[in-house]
Amino acid sequence: MTFSDTAAWYVIHSKPKCEHLAAAMMLSLPDVETYCPRIKFQRNTQRGKVWFVEALFPSYFFAKFVPLNSMRAVKHSQNVVRIVDFGGQMTPVPDSVIQTIREEMDGQVVKEIQVGVRVGDTVELTDGPMRGLKGIVNSIANGDDRVKILMEFLGRESLVEVNTSQILTEHTPREAMAGR
């Protein structure tokens, strides 16, 4: 197998939840550049709202290097599973793709995402006596702080107003980033 003597971006598969660590460690290698876009978002948990930071592409990040010079060092870096290939052939990622991702990330390495809730969303209550019950968002009240949810409870439909901090939405942060 022959390796390219030109620097290009490649997709690196890392151990789960170790993308940013592998990318940071790889920066110590000569002539290797890494890019590991991550998103920051809030999610309701048992303890209330908690901030999470995750890789935009879980278990993957990008590295720019010359395969002829750096492939072995990249492949055997800490937390790296493999360099993604197709049929044994390393396939470079075009610079334009990396540039597009950087633009979508607004030039940030960690971009904060607001998941939000919309009318028609199915949500689950996370607090109070009706905890665990699901309903459909009927309307948004008082800015974005409160919502009215149509719920079926004891055989009848009821409209309940709750704080948005008390509900879980089915939307993922990646969907919110994509504008869905």
DSSP character string of 19-40: HHHHHHHHTTSTT-EEE--EEE
DSSP state letter for 166: G
Name the burial class of residue 147, with classes exposed (0-12), middle (13-18) and buried (19+) by CB atoms within 10 angstroms of its CB. buried
Write the single-letter amino acid at 14: S
pLDDT in tens, 123-163: 888 777 777 888 888 888 766 678 888 888 788 888 888 88
Mean pLDDT score of the chain, rounded to an integer? 87
- Name the nearest CA neighbour of 136 among 157, 115, 116: 157
> For the whole model, what pTM was predicted?
0.74
Structure tokens at 87: 């049929």
Q: How far is CA 171 from the centre of its chain?
A: 12
Q: How far is CA 107 from the centre of its chain?
A: 16
pLDDT in tens, 69-102: 999 999 999 999 999 999 888 999 999 999 999 9
d(CA 166, CA 140) in angstroms, rounded, equals: 14
d(CA 114, CA 6) in angstroms, rounded, equals: 39
DSSP state letter for 170: S
